[in-house]
Amino acid sequence: MPFVASHTQEVHDLAAAPPSDGPEVVIVGRSNVGKSSLINALCNQRQLARVSTTPGRTQALHFFAVRDPKIRGVQFTLVDVPGLGYAKAPEAVRKRFVPLLHSYLDGREGLSLLILLVDSRREPGDIERGILERVLRRGVPMLVVLTKLDQVPRPHREGRAQQVAKALDLPRDSIHGASTLSGEGIDDLRRALSDFVRDLNLRGDDDPTD
Ligand SMILES: Nc1nc2c(ncn2[C@@H]2O[C@H](COP(=O)(O)OP(=O)(O)OP(=O)(O)O)[C@@H](O)[C@H]2O)c(=O)[nH]1
Ligand SMILES: [Mg+2]
């Protein structure tokens, strides 16, 4: 069942971000990798996040309030961010993307989980490794989603997942695959996210100092 979500805020500066309220999950990756599309797919809304064929579409931090209607108490914030790498946006706008993203990844107190998107047809490189290093330094949990899985023939998919795991030095089971076009992997990802938030809540209840 899709998540229920609404767009709550758009900010161009971390200082203007709403205060952290419960678990917060950010979706990051190169421009055009499918970040905004994935948010729409998880929530089954076509125009919740803005999608475009032009890389550089998302130009701010966008906060969404999300809940899983199936599981009581599973609610969290989902954050859409500008992509890294090539972007077709005015220079003045583009120049703000990296500092904005880095300030968020380094400084957002409430950050609970990072979802790194990698195009399933591309080798992950320095951009992806750079993002992982930033959050692993802070001890933030992460998982990887191979996007546009519909573009990879079925017999090649497992091999791709293993290659990406190796390139990023991560265990195979932290790599998920998804297609917003065919819907493959979307339900599994919802489940993984819900489980993560539920576990986080349970741990929070155990430890009042958390
Ligand atoms: N074939 C295929 N295309 C996809 C999939 N997901 C997204 N796309 C396409 O990829 C393009 C970029 O999608 P976005 O969701 O805007 O990507 P983004 O990562 O948010 O891009 P920026 O905001 O520019 O950084 C669009 O043309 C989407 O239709 C998918 O699963 N399969
Ligand atoms: Mg986007």
pLDDT of 210: 46
What are the structural domains, with CATH classification, of the chain?
Answer: 4-202 (3.40.50.300)
Ligand 2 center to residue 81 CA distance, Å?
A: 7
Atom of ligand 1 nearest to the CA of 31: 25
Find out whether the beta carbon of 59 lies less than 6 Å from any atom of ligand 1.
no
pLDDT in tens, 50-83: 999 999 999 999 999 999 999 998 999 999 999 9
pLDDT of 180: 98
Residue pair 116/131 in contact by the 8 Å Cβ criterion = yes
Q: DSSP letters of 106-137? A: HH-TTEEEEEEEEETTS---HHHHHHHHHHHH
User: Do strands 175-177 and 142-147 pair parallel, antiparallel, or not at all (unpaired)?
Assistant: parallel
pLDDT in tens, 171-187: 999 999 999 999 999 99
Give the C-alpha separation, 156 to 149, whole Å: 10
Residue pair 82/44 in contact by the 8 Å Cβ criterion = no
pTM for the model stands at 0.95
Find out whether the beta carbon of 40 lies less than 6 Å from any atom of ligand 1.
no
CA nearest to 65, candidates 74, 75, 56, 50: 75
Ligand 2 center to residue 48 CA distance, Å?
A: 11
Query: For ligand 1, atom 10, which residue shows the shortest CA distance?
Result: 34
Ligand 1 center to residue 168 CA distance, Å?
A: 22
